[in-house]
Copies of this chain bind each other. A is one copy, B any other.
């Protein structure tokens, strides 16, 4: 018989932090805190296995569960001298979800459970505070009604607002016990009206209703959306934590708060948090009241006018500092904690690894190495390579004038410009039209996740640094300004009012999440500083990693950028990008429109000097680092004009007729250009094109080598599917190389290889490797052909596929290990079997994706190549892969 329940509290626990999979993060850490002797209210955890049972068995429970819950509840009753449902000293509990991966705001919580018309009177007597008791009952009805019975919270809020208006008061706290009693009656009537049945008065019914709601919420749409976005498997399940209530809202000697052992925004080793006096926990997180700072130092950052806990409640603050010390040393990582003070006694309700900005993560990790808490390898593991991106993008130019619209809390760093949208749906719609958007809300909620994900930045007018918007934006690496109270949002009218002026949907603003500023219009951005903690970590990273990291680059600017980000060569230089310059494309078009080989050769002769110059620049900049140069790849009609105007211009310039251009366009038109006349197929049918390119490469190499700069060209033949294609074109390369060597007297050290980007090439890698000296896996095209997905067309069904969980990851972002990955593995193995020193790399978009980089390490590639901006990400990911960073660990940190 399985053990379904684990208890905690009172300095001991059946579980430990290591039992996260079974108890969920919250339950495991409650158990761990108990064992550490920290003050944790008594409670128990129903395991994730029950959730799985529940999901798989038509929302039923294991048969022995009910008895178990009764038993464990009995133990709490006994320890506290309270009775669940008792008329005197009633036991009230919270019911909270807690899954293996932290999923902020995604799961449902019910507080004050156990209250009914009878027990509320017991609570009156027990607390001596009628107002508190009925406020608790009111909150419970609202929360339970909303979460368990499906009566939307607006129903209750409307009644509350009406009531306040009737009484002529502004604040909830102005309502008396009698008002609240009347409100409870109204709430109960509203539930019966909307739900069709009376509010359940039996606490046991309440409890099982709440447990079922938590388990049921695991499969709700927003949880599924979150899991899809974070690649969390559906079968992990959530645990349920049932815990005796402690009250932060029982009077002025009560409080509740959230704190971080270090600053989650910049990583400073300073205690950091927010609290509210006489409040329940959700009041802080929900961002409805602006909370007070934890410390005096913290006042500067957030709410300078409110007293800090350090000053207001010094003894309790000292207790909390002890907890901080103990937990950070125990977990050796920055912790995010929730606490409640009930009648001047501190209770810990949660601890977890704290989310942090990448900047903070870097500082915390490098500081902790300095403090001896962790080693360098652990520091490397701690940084989320995906989020490193945050540091690598431009921030606002501090010199530029800012047309300020307002100011809020610097909730998630980085800056972004975009068009205003007022709801998540609009954000997704605009974004689908390739518009950059900034989501502006009073406050965000889990329903907004999808829209937040596609936004450049988030701006809210309410909520603090730990509000939903702030937490989620930091997690996503999106800039966020929260609690910008001097701005006003009218969501229905789609209007943002700032400085008395209305901004409408589509208006452009800039949001600076590092300073909290909201600025009118677009702003100039500046490059990030890649020094300090970043540079230190990158030094450690380069000591650890075993794979090389190169960049994809064609222009001198890209090549220089790549070097500055630490690229060790160019892994993909797409020569066709060099032909789109206006003075070049005309020759390219002449070449394509040529009616015979002679004409074609003349046009190519005109292109040769340009192409040679390109390579002279690249060789010079890269100074001896290897450069993989891919010969012409796209179908020729990508270079031809397609509008009448352009065609007329080209006809004139190329001395031909519109008719001739149309004819050629029709000839070159293809049903499926991705599978058409491109890549090495062009090299086979028009060898003079490749000859020109190869000549340009070798002439450039000879020129540069003559100046004393070493050169290392790697000629890459694209789209090979048949061994003979490679062989014929390698012979061409060798012949031209010999010619140029003879002409210039320079011996060039070069390699010839191929892209493995078609399933057949991967399967036939053995025979291709007989001639090829290197393979570069072109996983973009390999993904297209392996799945039969056209990257340009996948939008027609990708959303549906994501929504139905058919694709967890976009296979164009993270390599599909099972399918595409198997072909890459086969290609690598068969190639190496024939040529042991075959150089293997990857040059698709996957080269800059950490999960894909880990895969590349696993199968033994020599290097990855990605866009210049992603080079540091790839370096870090390669180091983590070399350390064998656990993939699960990665998701937990999210």
* A674 interface residue per 8 A CB criterion: yes
| B residues less than 8 Å from A677 (CB atoms) | 793, 796-797
CA distance A354 to B836 in the complex (A): 51
* A379 interface residue per 8 A CB criterion: no
Question: Scoring A residues 769 to 793 as 1 if CB is less than 8 Å from chain B, else 0, what string do you get?
Answer: 0000000000001001111111011
List residues 666-699 of chain A with CB under 8 A from any CB of chain B.
Answer: 670-677, 681, 684-685
* A535 interface residue per 8 A CB criterion: no
CA distance A790 to B758 in the complex (A): 13
Contact between chains at B684 and A804 (CB < 8 Å): yes
| B residues less than 8 Å from A801 (CB atoms) | 684
- Partner pick for A790 among B671, B787, B819, B820, CB 8 A cutoff: B671
Least Cβ distance of A386 to chain B in Å? Answer: 24
Chain A contacts to B: CB under 8 angstroms: 670-677, 681, 684-685, 719, 721-722, 724-725, 728, 757-760, 763-764, 781, 784-790, 792-793, 796-797, 800-801, 804-807, 816, 818-820, 822-823
Q: A670-B793, A672-B674, A721-B819 are in contact. Are A760 and B781 (CB under 8 A)?
A: no
Contact between chains at B785 and A788 (CB < 8 Å): yes
The 6 closest A-B pairs by CB, nearest first: A675-B790, A760-B819, A672-B790, A677-B796, A671-B792, A676-B793
CA distance A820 to B763 in the complex (A): 9
CA distance A787 to B806 in the complex (A): 26
- Partner pick for A758 among B757, B788, B796, CB 8 A cutoff: B788
| B residues less than 8 Å from A818 (CB atoms) | 763-764
Contact between chains at B684 and A724 (CB < 8 Å): no
| B residues less than 8 Å from A672 (CB atoms) | 672-675, 784, 790, 792-793
Q: A684-B806, A807-B722 are in contact. Are A786 and B760 (CB under 8 A)?
A: yes
Contact between chains at A721 and B788 (CB < 8 Å): yes
CA distance A674 to B793 in the complex (A): 10
Contact between chains at B797 and A685 (CB < 8 Å): yes
Q: A783 — nearest CB in chain B belongs to which residue?
A: B760
21 contacts between A and B (CB under 8 A): A671-B673, A672-B793, A673-B793, A681-B797, A684-B801, A684-B804, A684-B806, A685-B797, A721-B787, A721-B819, A722-B806, A724-B806, A725-B806, A728-B804, A758-B786, A759-B759, A760-B788, A760-B816, A760-B819, A760-B820, A763-B818
Contact between chains at A790 and B676 (CB < 8 Å): yes
| B residues less than 8 Å from A788 (CB atoms) | 674-675, 719, 721, 757-760, 781, 785
CA distance A823 to B785 in the complex (A): 13
Contact between chains at B763 and A819 (CB < 8 Å): yes
| B residues less than 8 Å from A764 (CB atoms) | 818-819
Q: A681 — nearest CB in chain B belongs to which residue?
A: B797
Q: A671-B673, A675-B784, A760-B816 are in contact. Are A684 and B792 (CB under 8 A)?
A: no
Least Cβ distance of A113 to chain B in Å? Answer: 38
CA distance A797 to B673 in the complex (A): 13
Contact between chains at A786 and B759 (CB < 8 Å): yes
Interface centre among A675, A681, A818 (most CB of B within 10 A): A675
| B residues less than 8 Å from A785 (CB atoms) | 675, 759, 785-786, 788
CA distance A253 to B724 in the complex (A): 56
CA distance A374 to B678 in the complex (A): 53
Contact between chains at B719 and A796 (CB < 8 Å): no
CA distance A759 to B784 in the complex (A): 10
CA distance A685 to B672 in the complex (A): 22
| B residues less than 8 Å from A719 (CB atoms) | 788
Q: A781 — nearest CB in chain B belongs to which residue?
A: B788
| B residues less than 8 Å from A671 (CB atoms) | 673-674, 790, 792-793
Contact between chains at A763 and B822 (CB < 8 Å): yes
Q: A807 — nearest CB in chain B belongs to which residue?
A: B722
CA distance A758 to B793 in the complex (A): 17
Least Cβ distance of A272 to chain B in Å? Answer: 44
Interface centre among A670, A674, A793 (most CB of B within 10 A): A793
CA distance A757 to B787 in the complex (A): 10
Q: A792 — nearest CB in chain B belongs to which residue?
A: B671
Contact between chains at A724 and B674 (CB < 8 Å): no
| B residues less than 8 Å from A804 (CB atoms) | 684, 724, 728
Q: A636 — nearest CB in chain B belongs to which residue?
A: B796
| B residues less than 8 Å from A790 (CB atoms) | 670-676
CA distance A194 to B757 in the complex (A): 52
Known: A670-B796, A673-B793. 18 other contacts (CB 8 A): A672-B793, A674-B675, A676-B796, A677-B796, A681-B797, A684-B797, A684-B800, A685-B796, A685-B797, A721-B786, A759-B819, A760-B787, A760-B819, A763-B786, A763-B819, A763-B823, A764-B818, A764-B819
CA distance A816 to B760 in the complex (A): 10
Q: A795 — nearest CB in chain B belongs to which residue?
A: B677
| B residues less than 8 Å from A822 (CB atoms) | 763
| B residues less than 8 Å from A816 (CB atoms) | 760
CA distance A785 to B819 in the complex (A): 14
CA distance A758 to B823 in the complex (A): 13
| B residues less than 8 Å from A760 (CB atoms) | 786-788, 816, 819-820
Least Cβ distance of A39 to chain B in Å? Answer: 47
CA distance A793 to B684 in the complex (A): 16
- Partner pick for A787 among B684, B758, B786, B797, CB 8 A cutoff: B758
Interface centre among A672, A676, A786, A796 (most CB of B within 10 A): A672
- Partner pick for A724 among B786, B792, B805, CB 8 A cutoff: B805
CA distance A626 to B759 in the complex (A): 33
CA distance A494 to B790 in the complex (A): 48
Q: A757 — nearest CB in chain B belongs to which residue?
A: B788
Q: A671 — nearest CB in chain B belongs to which residue?
A: B792
CA distance A787 to B721 in the complex (A): 6
CA distance A681 to B790 in the complex (A): 12
| B residues less than 8 Å from A805 (CB atoms) | 724
Least Cβ distance of A710 to chain B in Å? Answer: 36
